[in-house]
Each structure stands twice: as structure tokens, then as C-alpha cells.
Structure 1
């Protein structure tokens, strides 16, 4: 059976690891772009090939295994979430990764990659803005309500938007997951009580259940810093509240 763009993007990192670059190029447009944390921006076939070689070495060096676990497919983009399992100083750590593949005429013209470097280096590296803010962006109501709530300082206003078993997972991995009313209240009381987290929204892709929002932000809990880029995926339950919020950025307000 012929692979779809969704299949190929789900397998993107596995294809890199196995050196199957022809299969990757088969879905890319003539002048592809890849934008990645730390490594930077790669434009055009020669530059993208350099990225693929670098990433293959990275995957080998960290003895990485890749588990794609969630996908959003729209006419404009395909968003894939992965759990990477990497070896760091003899210990296995999980590294959440998300990519956005922008679609143009049945090919992928740009891939934007997001993850935190905390599991790798024990510190955040930051991520310059990639996109411009789009103030008129459409979002599902529950996601818009969440954005408004985290911009303020009322943790209870955020907690009530989640289901009883809802959770937020921070960018640094599964050990930074806060589940249920108690866990959510503890996290948001600490995260927004001093000034909130106002996000500048750039894109929004939704399939009705899962919604991905790319954003820039330069303020966290009253601390201001140079603008950073990120993405978050929000999962909505049957009752219209949030089942999950999974964050992929690399900001460190203390830097």
C-alpha cells in the first residue's frame, strides 16, 4: 500500500535513522525548509541534506528510539507528536518532540520541529521566533478559553477547563506531568500567580479533537525575556473540556 504524507511524517525520524533519505525527499517540495531547535534553519536540498546527516548522527549518538503517538491532519498541515527515548550518561530519558509539516500541492514545503533541550543538557537553550503573530486566528472555544485563562493569574479558572483526569505535560518530559485537579492546581498556582503566560498565537491546526497552536511568548509569571517560539497540543474530551495540554518549547525565564 502506498504511503501517505501522514505515514511518511510519522516515520520521519525513523527514516532519518535508517538513512532512507530518498523516501524523505519523495514527499518534500523542490525547495524544502527544516527549522530545528539548536541546529537552526535549513533551506534548499543541499542544506536539508546536511540536516538529515546531522540528525542521523544525533539519533545514533543518543541511541534514540522514536514513538509517534498522535497526529493532526488538516489541508494545510500535518502535526505529529513523538516520544523519543534517548540514552544520556547511561540513563534512558524521554524527550517529547513535535513537528509541523506544512503542505503545498501534495508535498511538504516546510517542517518545523519543537522540543526542549532540558532532557539532553539539564538546561534550556531557548528558541528564537519562527513565525509572526496572527491576532485573528480561529481556535476552538475551549482552547481560546484556556489561552485567556493562562494569560491571567487565576489558577482555578484554568483548572476548571480540564476534565477530572486531565493533565498538562511540560516540555521537559513525562516526569513533569501534572494530573487531576490537585496536580493542575499545584502547577498553575506556581506558573501564573505572578503574572500569567500571555501567548502570541501564530498558527492553529485542529481536527476537532486535537488542536495544535504555534506561538511566541516573552513573559512568564511576571518575568520578561527575549521572545521564544513553541507549540502546544490540546486534546478535548466528550464533555468539551480539556483532557490534555502537551507543551513543546524551550524557554527559561531565569536566563
Structure 2
């Protein structure tokens, strides 16, 4: 996810297969594609002109802008000793997502990142949306305007719906009950802000709801294969405080019992706590 393997040259694909020690690839991961050197394959992956939404660079639209982005990324990866740790991914008929931890400066900085892809036209992309928090890079939050509008037809189910209800209501008991006994919630800033087990989860959500209420999200888009889902949203209020509307995505992984094994958040909202 998100690049179709059949578009890459035989040489580029062979390098990718060798790197990943696989006989075949269903899809080419985002950064593997960017660093493959096969720019034509990346451009042909889009149904129309390239469109990518970046947390810092904003909207990258059109062939020229996208080519410049790919070139800059390749230089940045080399200069900053960047490596990539794959997380989960889902590729469904019209949309998919993947998670990556980007290790920068030889591993001194670890940046959790998520990419969501819309591909409703025979697997060809219409746009890509990248999500991460600036906190790991700069120690500051950056306001990121919404990328999508609220969609009232987006409907979560089972434990994810229970989690959303408890999150909106500021219900600590209800939200902790959504997790497996060894489940965890990870904040956008990464592993140092991971809260595991019932005790730590309760402490975390008590703090999260300490501004006089919950965090109702505007649901915008959903990718869900029944095991893991990615929910794109806008945040407009945190407890009693209205905040500038901001975009984010959260990934929810269900555990053996159907409760949440993990909740991983990718946004850059500065909590008014």
C-alpha cells in the first residue's frame, strides 16, 4: 500500500522483493515506492494528477510538485540516516492505509506515521493523506486544518463504536472497558507515550478528560477489515474547550476477545489540559 506492483519496472520490483525477502508483493509500501527510483510507476499509480496531503508541506498537487517531493524525500532519507519500520496495513477495494515508524538520525528520533490512500478507480489512486505529529520532531504541536468533511454515513461498529461513544462522553470506565486486559493506547508522539494495561489506561484517560468532558470527533472516512480499522476524523472540541478544527486518523486493532488490543492516534492537537 499504496503503489500497485505491476506498474514498477522489473529491476525495481526485483530490488523490492529482495529487500523484503518475498516471492511477490500485493502492494508496494509508501516509502519503498518513493525510494525505488521508479518515478514513472509512482505517477502512473494515480488515476489523474498526483495529489498528496502532507502535515508540514500541505497540499502537493500536480506532476511537477510531486516529482519535487519525491526528489526531496530521497535526499532527506540519505542525509538524515532514515530507516523505516513497517506497521500494519489494510488494502480494501476503494481505500487502504498503512502505518510506519520512521527512524531518523540513525534511530535517535522515532516518528509514528500513517498513510491513507483513496483508490476507487481500478486500484489507481485519487489522493494520499499522510498523518503524524510534529512533537517528535520539534517538541511542538502544529495546527493542521481538516482534510475531509464530516460524513454522516460513516458508521463505526462493535467495540470501535463503544470507544467513540465513551471518548465523546468523557466516560473513563466505559473507555477502559473497551480494551483487552493487556491492551494499550498510544499517543501521536510515539512509544514513550504508550499506556498499557487497565491501570495505566485509566490514568491516561482520566488526564485526557480532565478539561471538563470528552472529545467528540467528526467522523470523515473509515477503512475496516473487521480486525483493524483506521478512522479519519476532525477534532473541534476537547472537553469544555473549542479548538481549531484539525485533521487526524486513529487506528484501532481488535484483540482475541473482540475488545481493543491497541488504539494508535495520529494527529497534532495540543491538548487544552
TM value normalised by structure 2: 0.86
- Higher RCO (CA 8 Å, separation ≥ 6 residues): 1
Q: Call closer, same or farther: CA 1:169–1:27 in 2, change over 3 Å.
A: same
- Corresponding residue number in structure 2 for 1:28: 46
Q: Secondary structure at the match of 2:183?
A: strand
Greater Rg over alpha carbons, structure:
2
**Structure number with higher strand proportion:** 1
Aligned pair 1:252/2:254, yes or no? no
- Corresponding residue number in structure 2 for 1:128: 145
- Corresponding residue number in structure 2 for 1:97: 113
Q: Secondary structure at the match of 2:136?
A: helix
Match of residue 240, structure 1, among 233, 258, 263: 258
Q: Call closer, same or farther: CA 1:92–1:20 in 2, change over 3 Å.
A: farther
- Corresponding residue number in structure 1 for 2:217: 199
Residues 70 and 81 of structure 1 are in contact (CA less than 8 Å); yes or no, is this contact kept in structure 2? yes
What per-residue deviation string (whole Å, max 9, x for no partner) do you get for residues 56-96 of structure 1?
33333432111222111211111001111112xx8612110
User: How many residues are matched?
Assistant: 251
Deviation at 1:8, TM superposition (A): 4.4
Aligned pairs for 1:48-87 within 5 A: 48-87=66-105
Residues 153 and 195 of structure 1 are in contact (CA less than 8 Å); yes or no, is this contact kept in structure 2? yes
Residues 72 and 80 of structure 1 are in contact (CA less than 8 Å); yes or no, is this contact kept in structure 2? yes
- Corresponding residue number in structure 1 for 2:159: 142
1-structure distance, mates of 2:28, 2:158: 28
1-structure distance, mates of 2:111, 2:6: 26
1-structure distance, mates of 2:179, 2:6: 34
- Corresponding residue number in structure 1 for 2:11: none
Residues 222 and 229 of structure 2 are in contact (CA less than 8 Å); yes or no, is this contact kept in structure 1? yes
Aligned pair 1:3/2:5, yes or no? yes
Q: Secondary structure at the match of 2:52?
A: strand
Residues 224 and 253 of structure 1 are in contact (CA less than 8 Å); yes or no, is this contact kept in structure 2? no
1-structure distance, mates of 2:33, 2:176: 40
Q: Call closer, same or farther: CA 1:9–1:33 in 2, change over 3 Å.
A: farther
TM value normalised by structure 1: 0.91
1-structure distance, mates of 2:202, 2:188: 18
- Corresponding residue number in structure 2 for 1:179: 196
